[in-house]
Amino acid sequence: MQEADYAAIAQAVYAFAERDDPLAKLVKEALHVIDEAFDTWGEDRVSLSFNGGKDCTVLLHLVAGSLGRRAHSQKPLKPLAAVYIPVPSPFPQLEAFIEDAVKAYHLDLFHCPHPDGPNFPVETVATPGSVAAPVQDLPKHVKGGEGMRRALELYKDRFPHIEAILIGTRRGDPHGARLSFQNPTDPNWPRFMRVNPIINWSYADVWAYLKMFNVPYCTLYDQGYTSLGSTYNTFPNPALRVSPNHPCGRCGQPSPPNGVATSSSPVPIPAANGYPASDEKKTRQTLPDSFTLLNSDPNAMCTVDDLPSDSLPHVSTLIHIAGIPAQQCEAPPDNVLSGRLDAMGPEKPPSTCRCGTQYRPAYELMDGELERAGRAGGAAPPGPDAATVLHNSPEA
């Protein structure tokens, strides 16, 4: 990620804010809220909540513009105070992106530790399969955001002079519907003013901004993830899954380094069958060496590890893993997969390049209400047409 030029960002975003455009009005509104926060509390008493997600990445870019206009400098006069409260088991790509953003934007980022264990979740969504109990199984006196509260207590003790925190919450987020531009923290929480500059933005607005200003973002969003949390409860959005007859399109394409993606990333041109071109015509379907079969029960799955044999494993080697990790049993012999395995045969793809299930990038999700469909407990997509390519959109 290149070093952010605060002065150039300021010139670009403030000029755009004066246009007669729906997104420009939202940008102008957000800049006004940010400027007002700095005017009210001063730059030394305002912090930025930054976890590497798309929303706070937009907010970081806007804050850089606000500070760049004030300082008339390519760099902030002093590093911008920021706080990061990680969820349990964060994605490595997200952590790498955060590190790059800290360097590029000159952030003074405090990694705020939080108590581990089932009694202190950071998120308010269930985490099936994690070592921590799902939210619905917590003791009655413990709320879903207890870990967040404890982390902010540590942050307040360490930085008592911080009075306001800029947050990338939007109205469509959980608990965001009733928020305004400024909201104090709830009773029994550390005293901060929560400042929400992009509260009125939609999912589509966020991606329109990132693409328009070519703002680097985490690579996970190019892999079908639309809302990022813990690895325990975050998956590619099923609404962005590529249909089986759609070419894979990613063979031979290396992932962007350090978890950073931009709108200028190249678009691969795949072979018609999803694999590199081959002179030999293939007549049978193939499977990779290992695969995962999701059961109708979301808490169960069938898996198989790599085997030394060139042929696909027999169904009896599949292991059915129940919701309890320690409980295992062999898959029943009449499993529907048995006939499919026999029909596909042992043949392998013609190349070492094999493509599994593929997903379109996050900015191609048309229905913003499905943003959290890839999160445990999120909305389920109604059908295959829930997400389509934005052919005529400026962010496509």
Q: Among the ranges 157-161, 265-269, 381-385, which has the highest mean pLDDT value?
A: 157-161
Whether pLDDT at 389 is above 60: no
321-372 tens-digit pLDDT = 334 444 444 444 444 444 544 444 555 444 445 557 899 999 999 999 999 9
What are the φ/ψ torsions at residue 391 (nearest 5 degrees)? -60, -40
Q: Is the pTM of this model over 0.85?
A: no
For the chain, the 3-state helix, strand and coil shares in percent, each to the nearest 5, are 30, 10, 60
pLDDT at 149: 85
What mean pLDDT, rounded, does the chain reach? 72
pLDDT at 114: 55
Q: Would strands 193-195 and 217-218 be described as parallel, antiparallel, or unpaired?
A: unpaired
Give the residue from 207, 185, 211, 187 showing the smallest Cα distance to 198.
207
Cα–Cα distance for residue pair 57/218, rounded to 1 Å: 9
Average pLDDT over residues 191-211: 96
96-143 tens-digit pLDDT = 999 999 999 999 999 987 555 444 444 443 322 223 333 444 344 334
Cα–Cα distance for residue pair 151/107, rounded to 1 Å: 19
Angle between helices 54-71 and 92-105 (to 10 degrees): 10
pLDDT at 353: 52
Q: Nearest 5 degrees, angle CA 118-CA 123-CA 124?
A: 90
DSSP state of 3: P
Whether pLDDT at 40 is above 70: yes
pLDDT at 286: 42
Query: Which tokens go with 255?
Result: 């992932």
Q: How many Cα atoms occupy the beta-carbon half-sphere of 204 within 13 Å?
A: 15
Confidence of residue 173 (pLDDT cuts 50, 70, 90): confident
Query: Which tokens go with 366?
Result: 């048309």
pLDDT at 147: 77
Average pLDDT over residues 59-86: 90
- How many percent of the chain have pLDDT more than 90? 46
Please list, in sequence order, all residues whose beta carbon lies within 8 angstroms of the beta carbon of residue 164, skipping any fewer than 6 positions away.
37, 40, 41, 45, 46, 47, 182, 192, 193, 194, 195
pLDDT at 249: 52
Give the residue from 184, 205, 213 showing the smallest Cα distance to 196.
184
DSSP state of 173: S
Cα–Cα distance for residue pair 348/360, rounded to 1 Å: 25
Strand ranges across the sheet with 328-330: 291-294, 301-304, 319-321, 328-330
- Report the length, in residues, of the chain: 396
Of the ranges 76-80, 90-94, 198-202, which one carries the lowest mean pLDDT score?
Answer: 76-80
Whether pLDDT at 246 is above 80: no
183-194 tens-digit pLDDT = 999 888 999 999
